[in-house]
């Protein structure tokens, strides 16, 4: 029984972390909280992969000179590569998500999902009249013109 627990507890904890992340993404109404939940979800996937690279009695995959190389002495390096790539791409995802959040905040003045949906819902019948974006076309065109200096 205890051996089964030792062999399996990783999967249990990874599933718990995934469930926490999924619940956070669905239940929270603040978009920053949703991104925090997404990060917890994808960190759980990283842990799953790295736990899959572990071998009993193995070392870090750096070959020591002057010793015969036996694959069983070193942990599997391939999941490490996948997760290195995934972490870096994850940073790209966060960058794009934050750019979209900044833009949402400029347009609606809040990062609360239900408030944003409420504003969009109330705009639908007469969106030309009293929306917060009514003054946006002139500002956006002027922003595009003045941008090359400000953005660098």
Partner 1 sequence: MIWQLDLLFFVILVVLALLALRVRNLMAAVAILATFSLMVAVMFGAMAAVDVAFVEAVLGAGLTGILFIILIRDTGERAAELESKRPVILLLPLIAVFVGLMVFASSGLPDRGDPDAPAHTHVSPDYIEGALVDSRTPNVVTAVLADYRSIDTLGEVIVIFTAGLAVLLVIRTMPGREPDPAPGRLDGEGDVT
Burial 74-105 (b: 16+ CB within 10 A, else e): bbeeebeeebeeeeeebeeeeeebeeeeeeee
135 binds partner 1 (CB under 8 A): yes
134 binds partner 1 (CB under 8 A): no
The least CB distance from residue 122 to partner 1, in Å, is 16
The least CB distance from residue 1 to partner 1, in Å, is 14
The least CB distance from residue 126 to partner 1, in Å, is 19
Sites for partner 1 among residues 4-43 (CB under 8 A): 6-13, 15-24, 26-30, 32-33, 36-37, 39-40, 43
44, 21 Cβ separation under 8 angstroms:
yes
Q: Which among 36, 23, 42, 35 is positioned nearest to 104, based on CA atoms?
A: 35
Straight-line distance from the first to the last Cα atom of the chain, in angstroms, rounded to the nearest whole number: 61
Q: Mind spelling out the 3-state secondary structure of 100-143?
A: HHHHHHHHHCCCEHHHHHHHHHHHCCCCCCCCCCCCHHHHHHHH
Sites for partner 1 among residues 84-123 (CB under 8 A): 84-85, 87-96, 98-103, 105-107, 110-112, 114
Sites for partner 1 among residues 52-71 (CB under 8 A): 52-56, 58-65, 69-71
Interface residue with partner 1 among 120, 122, 127, 139 (CB under 8 A) is: 139
127 binds partner 1 (CB under 8 A): no
């Amino acid at each position: 029984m205890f051996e089964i627990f030792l062999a399996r507890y990783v999967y249990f904890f990874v599933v718990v972390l995934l469930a926490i992340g999924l619940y956070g993404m669905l239940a929270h109404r603040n978009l920053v909280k949703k991104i925090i939940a997404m990060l917890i979800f994808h960190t759980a996937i990283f842990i799953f992969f790295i736990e899959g690279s572990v071998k009993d009695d193995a070392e870090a995959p750096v070959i020591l000179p002057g010793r015969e190389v036996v694959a069983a002495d070193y942990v599997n390096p391939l999941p490490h590569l996948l997760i290195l790539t995934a972490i870096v791409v994850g940073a790209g995802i966060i960058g794009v998500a934050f750019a979209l959040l900044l833009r949402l905040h400029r347009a609606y003045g809040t990062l609360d999902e239900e408030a944003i949906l409420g504003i969009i819902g109330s705009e639908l019948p007469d969106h030309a009249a009293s929306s917060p974006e009514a003054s946006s076309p002139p500002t956006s065109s002027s922003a595009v013109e003045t941008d090359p200096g400000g953005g660098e």
